[in-house]
């Protein structure tokens, strides 16, 4: 197997770029990258190709970013199907649970091209979440599901996915963070540049529709953040900024240390020296376990319970739970020491290597190995 179009990687958002960069680099000359443009804002997309030492995408779709969900998926499927029919890759790789993930898997399946799903098997069991529908659709279509944890593999097996289509690989977020994390000296320079002190601030992010699109809920969350007894650094996601402006909440934002979206290394530098993290992000639920930082998850449910069960994350709803929980974490004298010695539940930093090996084997028509349930559990990250 050789050639630029042997393996096609489809991605469309910042987290997908971060989590698939290592896989893409390992696939080298065998890979082409298609970017759907689901994140059309430059701060959330193109800068990340540079940050992770990736060339510009081989194909950029048009008319996807900013469109309603149905239009995004339909438009992407149409363009991807035409591209796959013309180029005939031997494998299509998708990651996670975005609209780009769903469109890539569907287009490949319609063109009779095998699909490999990275970060498969996560479940919130909340059908109101667009991401839950996306990941369930892709699991059915995928010829190979690369589950990040044993729990994710169990979720797939319980839904009738054959063990021959499941591999536990760990989560690529571990090595992505290790690569992006600045040195201690650089990180300290970053926080000083922002006028902050080590362990003297809270870092918060917010972007999910369940939090931003409900005026009352967003208002409560912003009020709660302003009551945390430390400065709250708040990188403003475009959706959050638009919703806050439309609801007339500028005064609430002024009580926080708002800034533009950050590149990944800068965000990690701040997270490394924050006392507590507050977020509705799925990726940060994983990253906190590598950084050994406590996280308040502002969600009604989570598809990453491993972070909660390991003690890194606490899930809360809105209301007074946010500031009350933050105060409890800030006042816990043993928390930092306990988290420092708690293993990351998302793998050993070798997920990208495992996934690249599976992808290359599939594209070559070879058996990717670990074909039965007991065997792939044996090979899961410790």
Catalytic residues: 207
- State whether residue 145 is helix, strand or coil: strand
Tokens representing residue 278 in the block: 């507050």
Which backbone phi and psi does 35 adopt, to 5 degrees? -110, 120
Which backbone phi and psi does 297 adopt, to 5 degrees? -95, 115
Q: How far is CA 216 from CA 17, 244, 248, 297, in A?
A: 33, 11, 12, 18
Cα radius of gyration (the chain): 20
Tokens representing residue 62 in the block: 């048009």
Beta bridge partners of 91: 7
Tokens representing residue 138 in the block: 């892709």
356/363 Cα distance (integer angstroms): 10
Tokens representing residue 302 in the block: 């989570």
Residues 11-29: b if buried by 16+ CB within 10 A, e if exposed: bbbbbbbbbbbbbbebbee
- State whether residue 202 is helix, strand or coil: strand
8/79 Cα distance (integer angstroms): 14
105/138 Cα distance (integer angstroms): 6
Which backbone phi and psi does 4 adopt, to 5 degrees? -60, -30
Q: How far is CA 182 from the centre of its chain?
A: 19
322/298 Cα distance (integer angstroms): 8
């Amino acid at each position: 197997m050789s050639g630029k179009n042997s393996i096609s990687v489809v991605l469309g958002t910042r987290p997908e770029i971060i989590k698939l960069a290592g896989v893409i680099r390992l696939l080298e000359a065998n890979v082409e990258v298609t970017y759907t443009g689901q994140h059309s804002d430059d701060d959330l997309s193109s800068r990340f190709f540079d940050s992770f030492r990736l060339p510009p995408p081989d194909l950029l779709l048009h008319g996807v970013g900013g469109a309603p969900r149905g239009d995004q998926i339909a438009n992407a499927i149409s363009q991807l199907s035409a591209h796959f029919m013309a180029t005939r890759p031997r494998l299509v790789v998708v990651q996670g649970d975005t609209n780009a993930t769903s469109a890539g898997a569907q287009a490949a399946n319609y063109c009779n091209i095998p699909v490999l799903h990275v970060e498969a098997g996560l479940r919130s069991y909340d059908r109101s979440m667009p991401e839950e529908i996306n990941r369930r659709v892709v699991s059915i279509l995928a010829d190979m599901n690369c589950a990040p944890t044993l729990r994710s593999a169990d979720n797939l097996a319980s839904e009738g996915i054959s063990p021959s289509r499941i591999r536990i690989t760990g989560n690529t977020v571990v090595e992505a963070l290790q690569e992006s994390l600045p040195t201690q000296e650089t990180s300290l320079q970053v926080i000083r540049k922002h006028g902050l002190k080590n362990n003297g601030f809270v870092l918060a992010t917010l972007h999910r529709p369940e939090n931003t699109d409900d005026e009352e809920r967003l208002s409560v969350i912003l009020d709660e953040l302003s009551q945390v007894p430390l400065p709250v650094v708040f990188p403003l996601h475009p959706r959050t900024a638009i919703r806050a402006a439309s609801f007339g909440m500028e005064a609430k934002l002024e009580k926080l240390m708002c800034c533009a979206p950050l590149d990944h290394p800068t965000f990690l530098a701040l997270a490394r020296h924050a006392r507590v993290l507050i977020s509705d992000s799925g990726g940060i639920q994983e990253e906190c376990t590598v950084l050994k930082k406590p996280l308040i998850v502002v969600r009604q449910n989570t598809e990453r319970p491993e972070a909660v069960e390991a003690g890194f994350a606490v899930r809360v709803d809105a209301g007074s739970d946010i500031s009350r929980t933050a105060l409890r974490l800030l006042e816990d004298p043993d928390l930092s020491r306990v988290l420092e010695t708690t293993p990351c539940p998302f793998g050993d930093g070798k997920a990208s290597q495992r996934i690249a090996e599976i992808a290359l084997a599939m594209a070559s028509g070879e058996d990717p190995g670990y074909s039965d349930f007991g065997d792939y559990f044996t090979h899961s990250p410790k």
